[in-house]
């Protein structure tokens, strides 16, 4: 640079100062910032070699963003904090003027330098820190192949440029940070949406679906071909959707209309009737930033069929229990009243008193059994039916249950049981099943007829069958027998709740077994059977029979 007059110097400084304010403001990344800094530095000093480096405190690494060497821009690179002038300035945070490099500092190899093989060494340089408060964000360095190319004024100028660079680096880092944050949030949101069991749809301000999560795709049974994102739900497009999806879409249309007008929709329920009955709860929130235009909305659909069914079951059970508990309670109360008046008057017929007492006991037992059945059925429905398997001799249990029932039955009960049909079953639960089948056989067949109970081990299963000569069942009835609350028309004049077989079937299934019924038709008797899996010891002969 030529020698300037004092006026020229002042003007140059003022111009420099006014340019500094805007320096690097447009830079979108560090490389662009480097170019802006180079252009400005080149105006005021020798920039034969010029570099911008940023410093990463965590890894103590210096990253050279770019390097200029004799007008050619080179890629940067990284190196650990070392002993050179750049590292020294980073460590001390103070600028460094190197008038004669060979005399003052360690020999320098321009790491990012030029032609291969040529070891070029600058002869002078100025290195200034880029600061943010006390922290060193990086350095700016201008170097020359001439000795004494720089003086104190250059240190000041480069420091002024570096101060400007500091603000820019902070701004760029903040934007980068924000972009990372943004990306992180997006990833988190993506993971939440994918793992949600609730179906979620996002619509834009025009009401077009712009996003669906996995659950929504499954609920709507949509493949990617059926839904074109970003297009409003129009009737002609919906025609290609599966029936269930069309039903849901019909419910969505008014919700989307509400969202388009910026109104959220409180939770409400819809019942799907095409295909399997399903109950869905639907709610929607409009997306409106605190300041700014409506962005559309989020719709959440939840399958609450199970919940509603359970509630309905509880109501059914309650209604059923209310009805079936009333009668025995009235009978018990009536007979207890008779007993009480007899006891207080001291007189009365002892035989009648005894009958009243046994009626009370019988009805109380029936009440207890009904209460237990109701409890077990609600456990079964909730998937909480407990099974405690234990080595159990099925023949012995069958004989025992038949014995207990025989004493009060007006029927002939025969038992045919193989010896040692032993497996890991819940004794109490198996008894429940046997009691249900035997008492049904007695209930639905005429007094004096024969009921046969057989137990046999057949091909890895223990099979039990209960045969009666009673009212029998037709094909339609046989198909529905194990449904909760089912009672055949022909059984309606016999008291019952239609819960016993449902529970028995559930107990057998919980043991890994199966239950079925056979009948040649009305009035021709029926056979109820169940099979329980035998343990491995039964599958592998020889079997050691225990006495």
CB count in 10 Å sphere of residue 423? 22
Residue sitting closest to ligand ADP (CB)? 496
Least distance to ligand ADP, CB of residue 471, Å:
5
Residue placing its CB nearer to ligand ADP in the complex, 24 or 470: 470
Here the tokens at position 209 are 């679906």
Q: Which is nearer to ligand ADP, 342 or 452 (CB)?
A: 452
- Please state, in angstroms and as integers, the Cα–Cα distance from residue 165 to each residue in 12, 37, 62, 89, 488, following that order: 20, 7, 16, 16, 89
Residue 533 DSSP SS3? strand
Residue 61: phi, psi to the nearest 5? Answer: -120, 140
| Pairing assessment for the beta strands 412-417 and 450-458 based on DSSP bridges | parallel
Nearest to 139 by CA among 102, 169, 178, 103: 169
Residues 9 to 38: which contact ligand ADP by CB under 6 A?
none
Q: Which is nearer to ligand ADP, 38 or 444 (CB)?
A: 444
Task: Label the pairing between strands 278-286 and 265-272.
Answer: antiparallel
Q: How is residue 334 written in tokens? A: 């009536």
Distance CA 263, CA 243 (A): 28
- Closest to ligand ADP by CB, 74 vs 522, is 522
Tokens for 21?
A: 């304010």
Binding of ligand ADP by 338 (CB under 6 A) = no
CB-wise, 303 or 468, nearer to ligand ADP?
A: 468
Residue closer to ligand ADP by CB (options 198, 518) is 518
Kindly tell me which of 157 and 497 has the beta carbon lying closer to ligand ADP: 497
Q: Which of 40, 46, 426, 468 is in the footprint of ligand ADP by CB under 6 A?
A: 468
Which CB, 498 or 535, lies closer to ligand ADP?
Answer: 498
- C-alpha 529/C-alpha 467 separation (Å) is 9
Does an H or E element contain 341, and which? helix 305-345
Residues 200-259, interacting with ligand ADP (CB under 6 A):
none
List the interface residues with ligand ADP, window 418-437 (CB under 6 A).
436
Number of residues that bind ligand ADP (CB under 6 A): 21
Largest separation between any pair of C-alpha atoms in the chain: 142
Q: Kindly tell me which of 49 and 430 has the beta carbon lying closer to ligand ADP.
A: 430
Instruction: Name the token pair of 120.
Output: 């070029």
- By CB under 6 A, which span of 74-82, 107-115, 244-252, 484-492 interacts with ligand ADP? 484-492
Q: Which is nearer to ligand ADP, 143 or 436 (CB)?
A: 436
Stretch 495-534: interaction string toward ligand ADP, x if CB under 6 A: -xxxxxxx-----------------------x--------
Q: Of 43 and 443, which CB lies nearer to ligand ADP in the complex structure?
A: 443
Is 491 a binding residue for ligand ADP by CB under 6 A? The answer is yes
| Least Cβ distance, residue 421 to ligand ADP (angstroms) | 23
Pairwise CA distance, residues 434 & 503, whole Å: 12
And the tokens for 304? 């609450």
Query: Sign of dihedral through CA atoms 162, 167, 170, 174?
Result: negative
Supply the DSSP symbol for 83: S
> Three-state SS across 344-394?
HHCCCCHHHHHHHHHHHHHHHHHHHHHHHHHHHHHHHHCCCCCCCCEEEEH
CB of 413 to ligand ADP, least distance (A): 13
- Kindly state the smallest distance separating residue 206's Cβ from ligand ADP, in Å: 56
Span near ligand ADP by CB under 6 A; candidates 9-17, 212-220, 303-311, 440-448: 440-448
471 belongs to the binding site for ligand ADP (CB under 6 A): yes
Nearest distance in Å: CB 377, ligand ADP = 10
Q: Classify the C-alpha dihedral 198-199-202-206 as positive or negative.
A: negative
**Shorter beta-carbon distance to ligand ADP: residue 204 or 381:** 381
Mask: binding to ligand ADP, 112-141, rule CB under 6 A, as x and -?
------------------------------
Q: In the stretch 69-108, what mask flags binding to ligand ADP with x, by CB under 6 A?
A: ----------------------------------------
Out of 219, 338, 481, 515, the only residue in the binding site for ligand ADP (CB under 6 A) is: 481
Burial class (CB in 10 A: 0-12, 13-18, 19+), 427: middle
Closest separation between CB of residue 230 and ligand ADP, Å?
A: 55
Cβ of residue 376: shortest distance to ligand ADP, in angstroms?
12
Q: Which long-range contacts (CB under 8 A, 24 or more apart) does 300-306 make?
A: 300/198, 300/199, 300/200, 301/198, 301/199, 301/200, 301/201, 301/216, 301/219, 301/248, 302/197, 302/198, 302/199, 303/199, 303/219, 303/278, 303/279, 304/269, 304/279, 304/280, 305/277, 305/278, 305/279
- Only one of the segments 135-143, 182-190, 382-390, 489-497 lies at the binding site for ligand ADP (rule: CB under 6 A); that segment is 489-497
Which stretch, 21-29, 39-47, 207-215, 488-496, contacts ligand ADP (CB under 6 A)? 488-496
| Least distance in angstroms from the C-beta of 461 to ligand ADP | 22
108 or 405: CB nearest ligand ADP: 405
Task: State the DSSP H helix or E strand holding residue 298, giving kind and residue range, or none if neither.
Answer: strand 297-303
For residues 527 and 449, the answer to whether their CB atoms sit within 8 Å is no
| Residue 486 binding ligand ADP, by CB under 6 A | yes
488 part of the interface to ligand ADP, by CB under 6 A:
yes
Q: Is 444 in the site for ligand ADP (CB under 6 A)?
A: yes
Judged by the rule CB under 6 A, the positions of this chain that interact with ligand ADP are: 436, 440-441, 444, 468, 470-471, 473, 481, 486-488, 491, 496-502, 526
């Amino acid at each position: 640079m030529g020698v300037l007059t004092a006026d020229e110097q002042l003007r140059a400084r003022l111009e420099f100062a006014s340019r500094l304010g805007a320096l690097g403001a447009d830079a979108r990344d560090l490389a662009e910032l480097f170019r802006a800094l180079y252009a400005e530095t080149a105006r005021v000093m020798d920039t034969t070699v010029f570099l911008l480096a940023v410093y990463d405190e965590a890894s103590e690494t210096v990253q050279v963003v770019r390097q200029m060497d004799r007008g050619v821009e080179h890629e940067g690179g990284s190196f650990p904090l070392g002993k050179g002038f750049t590292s020294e300035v980073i460590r001390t945070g103070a600028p460094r003027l190197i008038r004669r490099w060979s005399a003052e500092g360690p020999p320098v190899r321009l790491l990012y330098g030029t032609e291969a093989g040529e070891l070029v060494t600058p002869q002078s340089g100025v290195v200034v820190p880029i600061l943010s408060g006390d922290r060193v964000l990086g350095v700016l360095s201008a170097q020359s192949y001439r000795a004494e190319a720089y003086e104190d004024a250059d240190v000041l100028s480069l420091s002024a440029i570096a101060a400007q660079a500091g603000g820019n680096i902070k701004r760029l880092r903040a934007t980068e940070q924000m972009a990372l944050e943004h990306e992180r949030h997006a990833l988190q949101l993506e993971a939440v949406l994918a793992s949600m069991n609730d179906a979620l749809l996002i619509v834009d301000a025009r009401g077009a679906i712009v996003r669906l999560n996995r659950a929504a795709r499954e609920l709507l049974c949509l493949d990617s071909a059926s839904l074109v994102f970003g297009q409003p739900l129009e009737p002609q497009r919906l025609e290609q959707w599966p029936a269930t999806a069309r039903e849901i879409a019909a419910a969505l249309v008014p919700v989307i209309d509400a969202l388009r007008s910026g109104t959220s929709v409180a939770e409400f329920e819809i019942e799907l009737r095409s295909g399997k009955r399903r109950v869905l709860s639907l709610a929607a929130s409009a997306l409106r930033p605190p300041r700014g235009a409506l962005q559309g909305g989020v719709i959440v659909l939840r399958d609450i069929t199970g919940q509603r069914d359970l509630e309905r079951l509880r109501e059914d059970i309650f209604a059923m229990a209310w009805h079936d508990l009333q009668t025995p309670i009235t009978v018990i109360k009536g007979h207890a009243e008779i007993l009480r008046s007899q006891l207080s008057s001291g007189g009365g017929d002892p035989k009648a008193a005894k009958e009243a007492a046994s009626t009370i006991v019988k009805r109380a037992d029936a009440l207890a059994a009904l209460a237990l059945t109701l409890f077990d059925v609600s456990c079964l429905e909730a998937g909480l039916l407990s099974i405690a398997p234990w080595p159990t001799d099925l023949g012995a249990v069958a004989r025992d249950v038949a014995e207990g029932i025989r004493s009060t039955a007006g029927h002939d009960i025969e038992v045919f049981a193989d010896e040692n049909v032993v497996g890991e079953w819940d004794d109490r639960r198996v008894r429940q099943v046997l009691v249900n089948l035997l008492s049904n056989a007695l209930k639905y067949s005429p007094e004096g007829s024969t009921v046969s109970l057989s137990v046999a081990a057949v091909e890895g299963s223990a099979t039990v069958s209960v045969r009666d000569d009673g009212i029998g069942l037709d094909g339609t009835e046989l198909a529905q027998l194990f449904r909760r609350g089912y009672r055949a028309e022909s059984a309606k004049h016999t008291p019952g709740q239609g819960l016993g077989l449902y529970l028995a079937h559930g107990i057998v299934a919980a043991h890994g077994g199966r239950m079925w019924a056979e009948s040649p038709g009305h009035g021709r008797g029926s056979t109820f059977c169940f099979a329980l899996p035998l343990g491995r010891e039964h599958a592998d002969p020889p079997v050691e029979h225990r006495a």
